[in-house]
A = this chain, B = another copy of it.
Amino acid sequence: MSIQQSIKPLRGFRDYMPEDLLAREKIISCIKKVYESYGFAPMATPGLEYKETLLSSGGEEINKQIYSFIDKEGNEVGLRFDLTVPLSRVVAQYTDLPMPFKRYQIQPVWRFDKPDPGRFREFIQFDIDTVGANEMIADVEIILAMYDSLIALSLTNFRIRFSSRKILNSLITCAGIPLDKSLSIFKVIDKLEKQGLEAVKQELGSGRIDSSGAEIKGLNLDELQIKRIMDFLLLPQGTRDEAIASATEFFKGVPKSEEGLRELKEISEYLDAFEIPKEKVVIDLSIARGLDYYTGPVYEAILLEAREFGVVLAGGRYDQLIKRPTGEKLPATGASIGIDRLFAALKKCTQVESKSSVADVLVTVMLKEKMVEYLKISHRLRKEGINTELYIGTEKRIGKQLEYADRHSIPIAVIIGSDEFSNNQITIKDLRLIKKEKIETVEHGDYLKARIGQKTVQSENLIEEIKQFLQESR
């Protein structure tokens, strides 16, 4: 292995340097606060599980993506690829958990997937799930929590779409297609947004050639079946009420179709109780959501200014997945956020603040022999809640130290030279202002010469003055 390789992360893996990690943490804590306001409590599970546990949820595609190996004790083990499987294991194991069990979980998952920009082999999932609640109110809570989260992230231009897996099941019945074909049909319908109606039609029929010239096999449905599906996909569905009316009309006389319709109605009525703009939470009858295990309502969110990132938040009800050793099945519903993708999408919407330092102040060092004094001043600031870095690097020149502060986006520098020491004074420099004004000297790297945003104050007023500096937004 070359040296080049071993100083890099593996392909599809990435480091989070302070600037990005601080921004990602902010997103996470924002959403966490919302989820906690609904009473979801945190849980964490191990990164490694028995491979058997991971395989139990089925889904061939995912199974191929599991990082698995034999451990030194001879167990077949694997890295978790999602947080739903560990949740199922936990609920099966802790039989005395009071129900409903509402938990959130923020942990990395690993998938041996094809790496893409924005698609990693290790990424943080942020899941909320309610286990043990049958009623639609549980699904409504998930949708509301999704909505509140997006608002909390200062997003305005997003859309939450929901439907029910049962609606698509009715479509299969209504089109006279055997039920065992439904998953493959759902996967084609799932492509509607990305590939368009014509591509879906072809894939339901004899297949098509994609833009790269590759052949995509069709499902070979007959014309009548395809027409039925096309009619469904073209149903007018503006507001939630309109969508429900369309679907009701469409499914008239189709056995068991009331169930899905009732779910949509119930959810919609609960949502009506809130002052949520109608266009922000809509019904989209064509939503399938890839995962095999959904049984009822499904929901997803997209950012309208960053559509290319696709769905940033999605979930649904899965009443058949969680099974206790007794055979008892527990209903569950929940949503998942791929934090790294959301982060990338938010960056595009310029919603992510860039800050590469946690320090508010850099205390520079002009006189090495006064180090104890600098240390004491740093500590005085810290005790006041001001994050303070004392310069402990090798640069002796103050200009270079200010450059260091600027590279770390530390807004304020504190300078105490011999004059200041003898006058019991301290000089404060606002580096943001220097940068904003693009002082000529700064462009030459000489922050020291820029007199702008600089103030020399009595030592006893330091805290007060710095707090004032920090409050002034640049």
Contact = CB atoms under 8 A, between A and B. Distances in A.
Interface in A125-180: 130, 132-135, 137-138, 140-141, 144, 148
Given A9-B46, A39-B388, A394-B134, A273 B376 contact: yes
A257 to B, nearest CB: 25
Contacts of A99: 393-394
A275 to B, nearest CB: 10
A98 interface: yes
A89 B41 contact: no
Given A41-B356, A389-B39, A394 B133 contact: yes
B3 A325 contact: yes
A191 to B, nearest CB: 26
Contact of A100 (B50, B357, B393): B393
A251 interface: no
Interface string A331-344: 00000000000000
Contact of A73 (B11, B25, B38, B103): B11
* Oligomeric state, in copies: 2
Contact of A15 (B46, B98, B135): B46
A108 interface: yes
A96 to B, nearest CB: 9
Nearest to A19: B41
Interface residues of A, number: 100
A1 interface: yes
Contacts of A47: 47, 79, 108, 110, 122
A192 interface: no
Interface string A14-50: 1111100110010000000000111111111111111
Most buried by B among A17, A40, A73: A17
A71 B112 contact: yes
A393 B101 CA distance: 9
10 contacts: A36-B358, A36-B387, A41-B357, A47-B122, A48-B79, A67-B71, A100-B392, A102-B389, A270-B371, A270-B372
Given A36-B359, A133-B393, A134-B394, 11 more contacts: A9-B89, A13-B48, A17-B94, A22-B42, A39-B362, A41-B359, A48-B110, A48-B122, A71-B112, A72-B112, A141-B390
Interface of A: 1, 3, 5-11, 13-18, 21-22, 25, 36-50, 52-53, 56, 67, 69-73, 75-77, 79, 89-90, 92-94, 98-100, 102-103, 108, 110, 112, 122, 130, 132-135, 137-138, 140-141, 144, 148, 269-270, 273-274, 325, 356-359, 362, 371-372, 375-376, 379, 382, 385-390, 392-394, 404, 407-408, 410
